[in-house]
Structures are given as C-alpha cells and as structure tokens.
Structure 1
Amino acid sequence: MLYASAISDMALLMAVIWSFHLKYAQTAAFYLKAPTFMYVFIFIALRALRFEARYVLFAGAMGALGWAILLLIVLSGHGGPPNVTHDYTEYLTSNATLIGAEVDKIVAVLLVTSILALAITRARRLLVRAVAERIAAQDLSRFLAPEVADRIRRSELRIAAGEGELRDVTILTTDLRAFSGLSATMAPDSVVKLLQDYQARVCPAIRAAGGSIDKYLGDGILSSFGAAQPSGTDAADALRAADAVAAAVAAWNAERTGQGLPPMRVGMALASGRVIFGAVGDGDRLEYTVIGDAVNRAAKLEKHTKAENVRALCDAATYDRAVSQGYVPPAVRERRAARQVDGVAAPVDLVVITP
C-alpha cells in the first residue's frame, strides 16, 4: 500500500503537469516550466514521516522517473515540436526545451532523495543506539547502586582501575546470623528464598535513608553513606538506616512467627572515617567500592557484636558524630567504654544500637 501510494501520487502529479499544455493550448514543452514540479519534493518528504529510508528512496525514484517520462514525451514530438535549444534566455522566454535544465531537475530530485534517506538512516541508528543505551543503563542500575550507576553513565572519560577519591563516610554492615548453618540443612531453593526475603527488607531501608549498597557478601551487606554522593549527614543517615533495618527485621520476624517459622537475627555495625571511593579491578572487570579503615573497623565491630551479645554496635565517635549531624536516637543508648575488639589495637568505646 505504501509503495502503491507513492506510485499513485507521482503519477497523478505528472498527469496534472502534463495536462497544462492542453489547458493553455501550448506545445508539450510548455509544461516543463510548471512550478507544480516542486510538489515532487513534498511527496518525497511525506514518506520521511514513516522514518524508513526505503520509502523515501522509492518516492524519489518515482518522481525522477515521472519527470524523465515527461521529458521523453516532449522530445518525441508528441504534443508539438520539442524546439530543443542551448540558449538559456530562449528557454526562459519561449516554449523551447533546454535538456540540461530538465536533467538538472532530475539530478536535484535524486540528490535530495539520497540526502534525506541518508539522514533517516543515521537517525534510525542513533535512535536504536539511544534505546539500547537506555536499556543498558536501566540494567546497570539493577546490578549497581543507583548513585554508582549514574556516576558511570555521566562519566565523560573512560573509567579505569586505580582511580579513586577521598570521602568522609559512614559504613554500615549487616549480617544474617546463623545463615551458614541454616543453608547446610535447607533445600537450595529455600536458602535462596530466605536470602531474598532478608535482602528485600534490609536493602530498601538502607536506600531510603540515603545509603548505597556497595556489595553483597553472601548473607552480609556492605553499604556506605556519603561515598557515591558526598554528604554532610552521612553518620546521621547511617544511624537512621540502622534503626530502620532493625524495625524491618522485627516486622519480618513477626511474619515468620505467624507462619510457624523461627525468627532470624541480623547483626549490624557502623563506623565512620575517611575512605577511598573508586574503581578497582584488573581492567576487564571493574568494581566501584570503598577502601579504608572505616570499612575494616565496621566489619570487626560486626563480628564483635557476638562477644557483646547484642545485635548492633557503633563506635562512640561515629555515634557522637551522628548526633552532631542531627540524629535523634529513639531511646537512650547504652555506652560500653574501653572494649577490646579483635583486630583493633586500642580499646574502643562502643554504643549499643540494638541490644
């Protein structure tokens, strides 16, 4: 239908132009000067709305062919003598035929058609590439923290391993207690379902407070505040996230108890400090992560929660920093001074976040 419409449009246009010499009782060479010829370009441009080059090329070919046929009718002598001339003035002021001028029209039709088709082809490629990049960007956000994915998308330079920036951040680590023992006694599907339930409750609480999920460490989650996007309230946001995670786990355990399942315990720890935020890897595979003492200290404090027999701990310096940033604790927190933490040389003043 689209090809047929191009043929019918051009045929009708050429028939109207051909009829001019009959209407005005002139020789056939008269219609070659009809300004109606310009409608050829309109019919070609209309095919561009389909955004496919083949329809433009076909319409242009039909236009050039139609004008060539009209020229051949004139040169054949049908409708009067062709009166071929090489004088441009005579061509303009009489019913003479200047073959070069008509050939120029055909060439112009073909050139405009080719340029328009090329533009459409390039535009389609750009559109396809843009859609593919949009889909890839959406997939990127599924595998990386949204802030990191956005950072990668906006990067004007190629990201390379070893590039990093100093950040003052707060690290929050969470760990699903006794998961290794449970996974050894549960079916694989049940293990994955349990892990998914845990992450589905903990991760939204972290993100809602402004945290970025740095990585999943089996049943552990490492998140950072103020790394991907520098913040002046990183410690306060991290403490709020810890409170939200504790509430989410409590709600999860209420559901599990109602289903006749045992409750789960989640350990947490927080630590603040200056870290390096950047890309690491071997060049072929890169990963954005945080590196520094705060990360190590948070991991050690999380392990120390078992020794303190609590679910969540924070060093006193981080807690005081959070309070100075506007964090309002929901209750008075217990402080434990000068505790010896494995892997930490000096005693650490601790604050119990969740008993």
Structure 2
Amino acid sequence: MKALPPALKRRIDELDERAEIRIGWAQLALIIFFGSAYAFLPRAEGSAGFNFVPYALGGYAVFTVLRLGLAYRRRLGTSLIVASIVFDVALLTAIIFSYHVQYDEPAAFVLKSPTALYFFLFIALRALRFDPSFLILTGALAVVSWVSLVVYAIFFDPDFAGITRNYVEYTNGSKVLVGAELDKIIVISATTFLLAYVLMRSRALLVSAVRDHVIAGNLSRFFAPEIARNVGEQEPAELVSGVATTRDIAALFIDIRGFTAMAEALPPSDVMALLTGYQNAMATVIARFNGHIDKYLGDGILATFGAVEASPSCAADALHAAFGVYDAIDMLNEEMQGEGRALHLRVGCAVAAGPALVGVVGGADRLEHTVIGVPVNLAAKLEDTNRVEGTAGLTTRATLKLAKRQGFVPPHRLEPRRNRQVAGLSDRVDLIVLKDASESSETAPITALSPR
C-alpha cells in the first residue's frame, strides 16, 4: 500500500486517537453498568468455589481508567493497544472459565455461558477505530480463547462427561456438542471478517475524505475560503467557464511605491521578507472589512468587496479598508524601524464601486474565479492616476456618495478634484483624494532588512 503523505497521515492519526478515547469511555460505561447490575440486581452465584467476577470488574475498571488517561495524553501507542486487547479478551476468558470453579461443574459447563456474547462486544468496540488490524486481532484472540476453552473441556478436565451429537443432552447436561462449538467459532470468525471488510472500505473512504479536506484546506490559502467552499459544494457540471452573475462590488488596488528600486537594492531573501510582512498586514486589514484578496500582483494587491458574497456595504467597506491600509503601513514602518531596518514603505490606494460580473473564466482544464467590470478597471486606472495627481489614494465622487449611503464616515475632510482626466477614460471624472502623497514620508535609504 502506498504510504500516505505526512499531512494526511497526521490527520488520520488524530481521528484514530479520538477513536481510542471513545473506546475507553465506552468500556468504562459498560463497567459502570455491569458493576451496578452486579451490585444491585438479583444474580445467580455458586458457593462451591471462589467468585472471580467482582475482583475482575474492579481490576478492569482500574485498567480502563489508566488506559483512558493514556489515550487523552496521546501515549497509547500500538504496543499498548495490542496489550489492551489481549487483556480484554484474556480477562473475559478468565471470567468465563471461573464459572467452572465457582459452580463446581465440569469445564464443559462454561461453554453454555451467555457471557461469551461479550466477545462480540469487544470486537464491535474495535470497529470504532478505522483500523481493521486491531479488529482482526480481537476476533482472532476471541476464536483462540474459545477454542482453548473447548480443548480444555474435552482433553484436560478430569470430570469430562463426553461428546454428544444429541442437542437435548447438550443443553440439559455437561456433554460437549462439537457442532455447536464450531458454530460459535464460525460466527465469531465471520463477524470479525465482515466487520474488517466494512472497516477496510470505510477506511478507504475516510482516507479519500480526509485527503479532500486537506486539499480544500490548502486551497483555501490560495483562494478565499468562501470560494473554496462554494467550489467544493458545486457539481462538476456547474463549474463551467462563462457562467457569471452581475453584482454590486467595490475594488481596492494597493501598490508599493518604488518597489522596483527596493528589489534591486536588496538581497532576494530580504525582498521576500518585506513582501511577506506587507502582504500579511494588508490581508489582515482587508479581511477585517469583509474583503477578499482577488490577486497578488507582485507588490500590488487587488481586493474585492461584495464579490464573493453579496454585500450591502461593499463601497463603505472598501473605503474603510483603504484608510486601514494607511494605518497598517504606519505600524509596519514603526516595527521595521524598531528592528533597525533602514526602510520606509509608502503605498498608493484606489477604490471604485459599481456593478460587475462575478464568475468563472478559463478553459476546460484550468478555471479561475474572477471579477470583470468597470469597478476593477477604474480602480486600476485610479491607482495609476495617483502618480499624476501627486496623491497616495483616490476614489470617485460616485463611489464616495455610495459609500456614505452605506454608512461610511470619512475620518477627515476629503479633498475633491473636479473634472479630472484619467488615462484610459474618455470622459473626465470627479475625483476624491483619500490621502495626499505629501502626507507620506519619502523612502529612507535602503541598506538592509536584517536587524542591526
């Protein structure tokens, strides 16, 4: 069998560890039930020999509590589980055998004991764990134990009354009906085989389900969790290119100023460290205001609001996020300064809102969830216009009006710039300045990102 990937194996091991805890609790519940029944309900007891049952139940209770504690501490390894199974079956066999002494009857007497049914209970408990090997071990030990009792009764008991083929003599006396004992062995073996077969099929399904869960978890790091969830819930026939929905959305573009010069002046590892810190900070802000990162564009980021899930406050959320970006960049700069990094980041932002197409594009073998429409294109153009206007953040009057209707309150008075030309647009646009470039410090000399 092909070895499982480490992440998948860890997940299945966790499920098996939880199963051992459930098995422990099930065994403890059974002990409490049977101990209570033994203590308070009428019972048949022999007086000729030693009564092994109460001591067995007490010892088994202590053993089960210790086993449950080890399961919770995740220290119940394979050897301890095997030892536990051996102990379970051996104890049950000893209890059954003790009736021979307790009631002063021939050993064949114990072969009619209903206590033998508990072998099936121990086998069934092993089905709580998706590992057929332990279930097969339990069933095999149960068969060996019963065969041992039969062999002892026939060959080693001095009071052996003989073998019979008469069912009435078997039920009313102490003779052994070999066919009846074979039936018990066959039923225990068949039950073990069938449960093991079901477990093997169930384990295959479990591995497949856990693999899909791990893959979905990994994919959610590349896509918005909502997108990954929606894709996972859709039928393959529904995931086709060209299917889209028109929805009111807002787009936010973020870009680092002078990043190319920074990248050329810094070692690659420092560039990646810078990008990681910046992207983590931006992702936190965007998520805080219900946005989703659509694309990482090198040092640029495209975030959408209301695209993955419809939102009545997409424009307000996007503008809140834009101002949150400036605060996050200030905090990031302070952290780098405190670490002795001779670097100061400046960013440009742009926000635009309006109707857009949200859906799936691509070919038969490569699909992508995307947003197409005026807000995305306009936000990209506005971000480029920041350089022309000498600003660090822009939006349009229409987007600001929509955001205010959605509850947005500007943190300060915003400067309007009417009738401005935006490259790529035929009509002039009324712009709103979110942040002037003069409010941001110039980039400090770049030396190294490592602490001094």
Q: Within 5 A, what are the aligned runs for 1:295-310?
A: 295-310=376-391
- Cα distance in 1, alignment partners of residues 288 and 278 from structure 2: 16
Secondary structure at the counterpart of residue 221 of structure 2:
helix
Secondary structure at the counterpart of residue 311 of structure 1:
strand
Deviations 1:205-228 (A, max 9, x none): 222111111001111110100011
Corresponding residue of 2:141: 62
Q: 1:103 to 1:346 in 2, by over 3 A?
A: same
Amino acid at match of 1:187: P
Q: 1:233 to 1:110 in 2, by over 3 A?
A: same
Amino acid at match of 1:233: S
User: Identity over the aligned pairs, expressed in percent?
Assistant: 42
Deviations 1:320-355 (A, max 9, x none): 100111111122222222222121122212111112
Corresponding residue of 1:202: 282
Corresponding residue of 1:104: 183
Structure 1 residues without counterparts, runs of 5 or longer:
none
Q: Within 5 A, what are the aligned runs for 1:1-355?
A: 3=82, 6=85, 10=89, 13-14=92-93, 17=96, 20=99, 29-45=108-124, 52-72=131-151, 79-86=159-166, 88-122=167-201, 124-125=203-204, 128-129=207-208, 131-153=210-232, 155-158=233-236, 159-253=239-333, 259=340, 261=342, 263-355=344-436
Deviations 1:3-45 (A, max 9, x none): 5665566556556645655665655543332223224334445
Comparing 287-296 with 250-259, greater Cα deviation is found at: 250-259
Q: 1:303 to 1:91 in 2, by over 3 A?
A: same
Amino acid at match of 2:249: V
Q: 1:250 to 1:3 in 2, by over 3 A?
A: closer
Amino acid at match of 1:312: G
Amino acid at match of 2:380: A
Asked whether the 8 Å contact 2:160–2:175 carries over to 1, the reply is no
Q: 1:144 to 1:97 in 2, by over 3 A?
A: same
Deviations 1:101-146 (A, max 9, x none): 2221111211222244345445555555555444433322322223
Amino acid at match of 1:59: T
- Cα distance in 2, alignment partners of residues 206 and 6 from structure 1: 53
Asked whether the 8 Å contact 1:44–1:56 carries over to 2, the reply is yes
Secondary structure at the counterpart of residue 142 of structure 1:
coil
Asked whether the 8 Å contact 2:348–2:386 carries over to 1, the reply is yes
Q: 1:214 to 1:50 in 2, by over 3 A?
A: closer
- Cα distance in 1, alignment partners of residues 303 and 211 from structure 2: 30
Q: 1:353 to 1:100 in 2, by over 3 A?
A: same
Asked whether the 8 Å contact 2:154–2:162 carries over to 1, the reply is yes
- Cα distance in 2, alignment partners of residues 23 and 261 from structure 1: 87
Asked whether the 8 Å contact 1:85–1:96 carries over to 2, the reply is no
- Cα distance in 1, alignment partners of residues 362 and 242 from structure 2: 8
Q: 1:272 to 1:33 in 2, by over 3 A?
A: same
Comparing 43-52 with 244-253, greater Cα deviation is found at: 43-52
Asked whether the 8 Å contact 1:273–1:294 carries over to 2, the reply is yes
- Cα distance in 2, alignment partners of residues 214 and 92 from structure 1: 77
Asked whether the 8 Å contact 1:29–1:82 carries over to 2, the reply is no
Secondary structure at the counterpart of residue 359 of structure 2:
strand
Amino acid at match of 2:136: L
Secondary structure at the counterpart of residue 391 of structure 2:
coil
Amino acid at match of 1:208: R
- Cα distance in 2, alignment partners of residues 56 and 183 from structure 1: 60
Measure how far apart 1:260 and its partner are: 7.4
Secondary structure at the counterpart of residue 220 of structure 2:
helix
Asked whether the 8 Å contact 1:74–1:81 carries over to 2, the reply is no
Q: TM-score, normalised by structure 1?
A: 0.85
Asked whether the 8 Å contact 2:163–2:178 carries over to 1, the reply is no
Comparing 166-175 with 260-269, greater Cα deviation is found at: 260-269
Q: 1:27 to 1:301 in 2, by over 3 A?
A: closer
Amino acid at match of 1:145: A
Q: TM-score, normalised by structure 2?
A: 0.68
Secondary structure at the counterpart of residue 412 of structure 2:
coil
Asked whether the 8 Å contact 1:76–1:82 carries over to 2, the reply is no
- Cα distance in 2, alignment partners of residues 256 and 5 from structure 1: 56
Q: RMSD of aligned C-alpha atoms? A: 3.1
- Cα distance in 2, alignment partners of residues 180 and 59 from structure 1: 66
Amino acid at match of 1:213: I
Asked whether the 8 Å contact 1:28–1:82 carries over to 2, the reply is no
Comparing 93-102 with 334-343, greater Cα deviation is found at: 93-102
Asked whether the 8 Å contact 1:225–1:234 carries over to 2, the reply is yes
Asked whether the 8 Å contact 1:169–1:225 carries over to 2, the reply is yes
Asked whether the 8 Å contact 1:83–1:97 carries over to 2, the reply is yes
Comparing 271-280 with 156-165, greater Cα deviation is found at: 156-165
Deviations 1:67-116 (A, max 9, x none): 23443455569633424124x44433344443332221111211222244
